[in-house]
Amino acid sequence: MSICATASAASGLISRLRRTRARLAAACVGRGVRAFIHGLPRDSGVMDVGCGNNSPYKTKTQRPDLRYIGIDVGDYNQTAPMLADRYIVATPQGFAAEIEALEGSVEAVVSAHNIEHCDDPGRVLRAITAALKPGGRLHLTFPSQASIGFPHREGCLNFFDDSTHREVPDFDRIVRQLEANGRAIPFAARRYRPIALLLVGALLEPLSRRRGRTMTGTWALYGFEAVIWAVSNGRAASTTQQAN
């Protein structure tokens, strides 16, 4: 076998291994954001609302084909190479307006632990849903209402551990608002507890408790986050509609 053929075969093997790893990762996290990203159609446009902690890099390395728009109110923990196709840093006061300007522009929106930080969460949620094209998909996560009673730990386990949290999101109200804006909800969990991560969290809980900080699986063990998947049914969502 020639050197070129060997290199080509090795490259193909690496690509297959990467795809297999992505599928396994998606299976392990169930309805988490990695599974959501993995399931998007090829070349989809995705808007990441609150895209700190190297989210552009993580998303684009998992799915280089996606057209990625990241928007946030600060350059939070972007230590990896910036791979976003478009990166928007807005003021807190202008955050919702920036999203509203992208109405009907993307096939998918990810909003991971952003709503609880917003000055006007109802307006931001309306803008997020309006940004979707017909048939578009939304992945929304935020702290569960139960988290106000969880133990306090570094890394945030109790809602009030994060001083930038503004108000506890109301799960039922958010579901009603999404449905009122023409979004079907194929999956919703008040306290998301994927079994694989829950088991890891249970094993690490004594250490987590002793060290006073969250570890892999702690959120799943307690059901810290609410998760909602929504799909546009083709009905237009207005950014001027009043919140429920």
Question: In the prediction, which pLDDT does 26 show?
Answer: 46
Same domain, 50 and 169: yes
56 and 2 part of one domain:
no
User: Can you tell me the mean pLDDT for 111-123?
Assistant: 95
Asked if 39 and 128 sit in the same domain, the reply is: yes
pLDDT at 18: 61
100 or 21, higher pLDDT:
100
Together in a domain, 118 and 23: no
Task: Tell me if 141 sits within 8 A of 112, measured CB to CB.
Answer: yes
Residue 216 has pLDDT above 60, yes or no: yes
- pLDDT(240) > 80: no
CB atoms within 10 A of CB 118: 21
Same domain, 23 and 58: no
Q: Based on the fold, state whether residues 25 and 35 are members of the same structural domain.
A: no
pLDDT score recorded for residue 64 = 96
pTM: 0.82
Angle at 63 between CA 61 and CA 64, to 5 degrees: 70
Q: At what angle do helices 171-180 and 121-130 cross, to 10 degrees?
A: 40
Contact in structure between 98 and 72 (CB atoms under 8 Å): no
By CB atoms closer than 10 A (0-12, 13-18, 19+), residue 197 is buried
Output the CA torsion 139→144→150→155 (10° steps).
30
Q: Give the domain range for residue 18.
A: 1-30
Co-location of 142 and 164 in the same domain: yes
243 in a structural domain = no
Confidence of residue 24 (pLDDT cuts 50, 70, 90): low
Nearest to 66 by CA among 88, 83, 89: 83
Q: Are residues 121 and 208 in the same domain?
A: yes
Q: Does 19 share its domain with 37? A: no
* 242 part of a folded domain: no
Q: How confident is the model at residue 135 (pLDDT cuts 50, 70, 90)?
A: very high
Query: pLDDT at position 244, please?
Result: 31
- Give tens-digit pLDDT for 148-162: 999 999 999 999 999
What total of structural domains would you count in the chain? 2
Q: Is the dihedral of CA 141, 105, 166, 181 positive or negative?
A: negative
Rg, the chain, Cα only: 19
What does the alpha-carbon distance between residue 185 and residue 188 come to, in Å, rounded to a whole number?
Answer: 7
- Output the pLDDT for position 123: 95
Residue 226 bridge partners (DSSP) = 142
* Per-residue pLDDT tens digits for 50-82: 998 899 999 999 999 999 999 999 888 888 888
Higher pLDDT, 243 or 197: 197
pLDDT at 146: 98
In this predicted structure, the answer to whether residue 211 has a pLDDT above a threshold of 90 is yes
Residue 241 in domain: no
99 & 128 share domain: yes
How far is it, in rounded angstroms, from Cα 127 to Cα 123?
6
**HSE, side-chain direction, 13 A CA sphere, residue 36:** 26
CATH number at residue 170: 3.40.50.150
**Are 113 and 193 members of one domain?**
yes
User: Looking at residue 74, what is its pLDDT?
Assistant: 86
pLDDT, greater one: 4 or 64: 64
Q: What pLDDT, on a 0 to 100 scale, did the predictor assign at position 239?
A: 37
Based on the number of CB atoms within 10 Å of its own CB, is 106 exposed (0-12), middle (13-18) or buried (19 or more)?
A: buried
Residue 241 pLDDT exceeds 50: no
